[in-house]
Structure 1
């Protein structure tokens, strides 16, 4: 029997998807002028678990995805492209055709097996994606329909198609990569600053790697709190970008000595540090803390590509330095703050919609080899980000917009 016969075909009316189960979301029972007491199926399809819009979405039988086949901090060594069957969504799941995926520094930690030691290869790579719903389970159809735009934060994003639990998807008004920047990078800055920063108007905030994916948001949230913001970066172009975000003092560490500049211009220290570099930069951050200062560690990218994953840090006197200043140093790992996640996304999307939040995206137009298009370009995008050349969030366009060939 054809697989098409095992899955309820979707019809469309006015751009909305309708199943043959007696009407989908937005369907009317009054089309024939009859108003039945209760809906009933035209035919019994209770055995079916999912809808797949084969005609309208042109779903292929196979797809490409990136799979971690060997644990290594070398992403190219750890990950390979595989061709597999397009997965089928379960009852409460969506099948998403990925349009864009986000590149994160922590992708290397994941491929090295540092987050979950019990996870053994092979396993899927990638954390965040955005695209269109092209298939869904029966219970998932109560909230979504084919053609809906969604974003998600879940492993397995580096693929042409990804199955995602409906409850973990975020509806978005359009498949724009700007929304993708909010899932991990934006949420990390928003929640960390809110929960751990304890920002007060007039305080001084230092953001390291400020022109990067998450740094750009930390700068903006600190400014919104009425703080004086210092941002480190590696070029004059990035310094100009930071000024456009409201950063009071961009510091290009390739032309200025970071430690000397901070000592000279901020002799009383800084109140809050949003730190993602580690190593010697973390040492400077600790030394520049003011009394009752708060240092938030959201990562240490300078060590991720090493065997240990941890950059060298001279922290022997750390307890003394914190004690002398009544300062604190706290770590932030986004999965530990899921209870704050929905509120953070909702707030940021509202700010973006009203022009109160900049979501800078780097498509790789200035990278060697050009714009990051196609799943294979994830490798180039990773190299590009780790070279420190990106301005904003690095994204890869997995596929161009779909064009429906459906005549229904």
Structure 2
């Protein structure tokens, strides 16, 4: 399941939509989640410097195990400040899944000719879109020749077979460690609880529901 959903979302997003190359600086928001943990590992395999955001020390430790070069725990330090101070030239490729002020920070810190890939906005899923009074963002993108790209993996069915086959091989070769959250959810009656658990931000890796 992780190779099908999270893995293909990560690989198609990075390589097809995000046009990832080697030697780039890549930022992954919600990096400890099911998709994010795949993105971190694939970006490292491609020879990139990877920054990941997460909430807790436990998640940060796991991201370091997966090869993250810099982990920003957003509850303990400001992401925008860290990026401005440590990456003054900006971020080449941003895999954004959080939305809200995290998205704003990504816009402010994308590199010249950089790409921001929107794969989700989990901070707004439960409460709906935030109403924001702020300058429009196109001038920030224009003066950097930066690009903002939306991505739904379901719009790329023709890419799934090749990416799935390769991702499974990466797992078998020990090059990717799919992260599955250990919290048990059993049966269809637990689906709502699983979704609420996901939205709580407590998960590390893919949240799954087992059917018997």
Whether TM exceeds 0.5 here: the answer is yes
Q: What are the ranges of 5 or more consecutive residues in structure 1 without an aligned counterpart?
A: 1-179, 365-370, 400-408
1:206 aligns with 2:19: no
CA contact (8 A) 1:201 1:225 kept: yes
Aligned mates of 1:248, 1:314 — CA distance in 2:
35
Larger radius of gyration: 1
Between Structure 1 and Structure 2, the one with more helix by share is: 2
Matching residue within 233, 236, 242 for 2:54 = 233
Decide whether aligned partners of structure 1 residues 188 and 237 sit closer, same or farther in structure 2, where only a CA change above 3 A counts.
same
Matching residue within 168, 173, 177 for 1:349 = 168
Greater alpha carbon shift after TM alignment, 310-319 vs 229-238? 310-319
5 Å-filtered alignment, 1:162-311, equals 180-306=1-127, 309-311=128-130
1:340 aligns with 2:128: no
Aligned mates of 2:131, 2:159 — CA distance in 1:
32
1:389 aligns with 2:208: no
The offset of 1:316, in angstroms, is 3.1
Aligned mates of 2:179, 2:98 — CA distance in 1:
20
CA contact (8 A) 1:242 1:250 kept: yes
Give TM-score, length-normalised by structure 1.
Answer: 0.51
Deviation track 1:101-142 (CA, whole Å, cap 9, x = no partner) reads: xxxxxxxxxxxxxxxxxxxxxxxxxxxxxxxxxxxxxxxxxx
Question: Which has the higher relative contact order, 1 or 2, with Cα contacts under 8 A spaced 6 or more apart?
Answer: 2
Q: Secondary structure at the match of 2:34?
A: coil
Give TM-score, length-normalised by structure 2.
Answer: 0.96
Paired residues, what number? 212
4+ runs deviating over 2 angstroms: 309-317
The offset of 1:314, in angstroms, is 5.8
Q: 1:96 — aligned with what?
A: none
Aligned mates of 1:313, 1:321 — CA distance in 2:
17
1:330 aligns with 2:149: yes
Q: 1:19 — aligned with what?
A: none
Decide whether aligned partners of structure 1 residues 315 and 272 sit closer, same or farther in structure 2, where only a CA change above 3 A counts.
farther
Q: Secondary structure at the match of 2:143?
A: helix
Aligned-residue CA RMSD in angstroms?
Answer: 1.3
